[in-house]
Structure 1
Amino acid sequence: MDKQRKQYQERKQDPSLKLFVVLSKAYRSVADLVAADIRKNGLNTTEFGVLELLYHSGEQPLQKIGDKILLASGSITYVVDKLEKKEFINRIQCAKDRRITYASISEKGKALLEDIFPEHWRQIEKITAGLSADEKKGAIKLLKQLGIYADELKKTD
């Protein structure tokens, strides 16, 4: 029993689990606030992510959108259908390969993003104002390093 208690105490002092818990809670708190801001504009976070991707990167093959905004491929069709119904995006068939369909932001979609993005940016600035500019840069560097390392671990498993 003493051996188990000692192992528990050692694990308790290891900051790995604490980092994971704090990172998860911080992400949830920030993501909830961002999602609430996006919902004010009649979109969900996935719809907004697709619109933002198409606005900033131009037309994209449907099968690549999921990778870029971290969405399961099965959900892309559903989201694209909803955005197309709202007339925020258009589907474009590839002339060279009919198996490929592109999504492109429409003029209505561009107008929507140009209208809502400045306030959305201000909200993100407000949400992250708990850190100084230097702390944000340090957090970006550390989180990127952690993400790259985790991606490398996935490749070895």
Structure 2
Amino acid sequence: MNRQDKSLQALIAILRTSGALENMVRKDVSCYNLNLTEFSVLELLYHKGSQTIQTIKNKILIASSSTTYVIDQLVKKGYVKRELCQADKRVTYAEITEEGKKLMSDIFPKHASRIENNFENLTEEELVQLKNLLRKVTQEKKEIE
């Protein structure tokens, strides 16, 4: 088997694994009446504190209009509130509410444990190696000419 075939097989394995993990996460967060994007925003705010809408968009990798919609939904659920920046009224921050913190403090440890269970067949060293190898794959490459 040549390098190109091995690369294609590696890609297929990564995509299948990614799909399986994403399905597990979707199923897990849906138990709490959240979708994956809502959970991602809550998780970011829970662990990193108040963030601008632009920062959330960049970190969660979703479109601006989708970011606004997701934050709207989290505001309706009482998990997030908006705050205008006093220094620059064009900037809006999203902040997790006490209700959002309570939810995340309840569900995040369970969620993290479910994720850990998906990697139980790997040693801690293999987990670090996997992370580093995946990062190496996604490093910037020369554009294909």
TM-score normalized with structure 2 length: 0.91
Corresponding position of 1:46: 37
Corresponding position of 2:60: 69
**Which has a greater percent of helix?**
1
For residue 96 of structure 1, report the CA deviation from its aligned partner.
1.6
State how far apart, in whole Å, the 2-side matches of 1:79 and 1:153 are: 35
- How many aligned positions are there? 145
Question: Cα deviation per residue 1:28-49 (whole Å; 9 max; x = unaligned)?
Answer: 0111111111111111111111
Larger deviation: 67-76 or 44-53? 67-76
For residue 65 of structure 1, report the CA deviation from its aligned partner.
0.5
Q: Secondary structure at the match of 2:122?
A: coil
Contact 1:94–1:100 (Cα < 8 Å) also in 2: yes
Is 1:30 the equivalent of 2:28? no
For residue 69 of structure 1, report the CA deviation from its aligned partner.
1.3
Corresponding position of 1:98: 89
* Larger-Rg structure: 1
Is 1:148 the equivalent of 2:139? yes
Corresponding position of 1:3: none
Question: Cα deviation per residue 1:78-131 (whole Å; 9 max; x = unaligned)?
Answer: 000000000100000111211111000000000000011111111011112132
**Equivalent runs, 1:76-95 vs 2, <5 Å:** 76-95=67-86
Structure 1: gaps of 5 or more residues: 1-8
**Equivalent runs, 1:99-118 vs 2, <5 Å:** 99-118=90-109
Contact 1:62–1:101 (Cα < 8 Å) also in 2: yes
State how far apart, in whole Å, the 2-side matches of 1:88 and 1:10 are: 51
How much is the aligned-residue C-alpha RMSD, in angstroms? Answer: 1.9
Corresponding position of 1:134: 125
Identity %: 41
Question: Cα deviation per residue 1:18-75 (whole Å; 9 max; x = unaligned)?
Answer: 1111111110011111111111111111111101111111111111101111212220
Off by >4 Å, runs of 4+ in structure 1: none
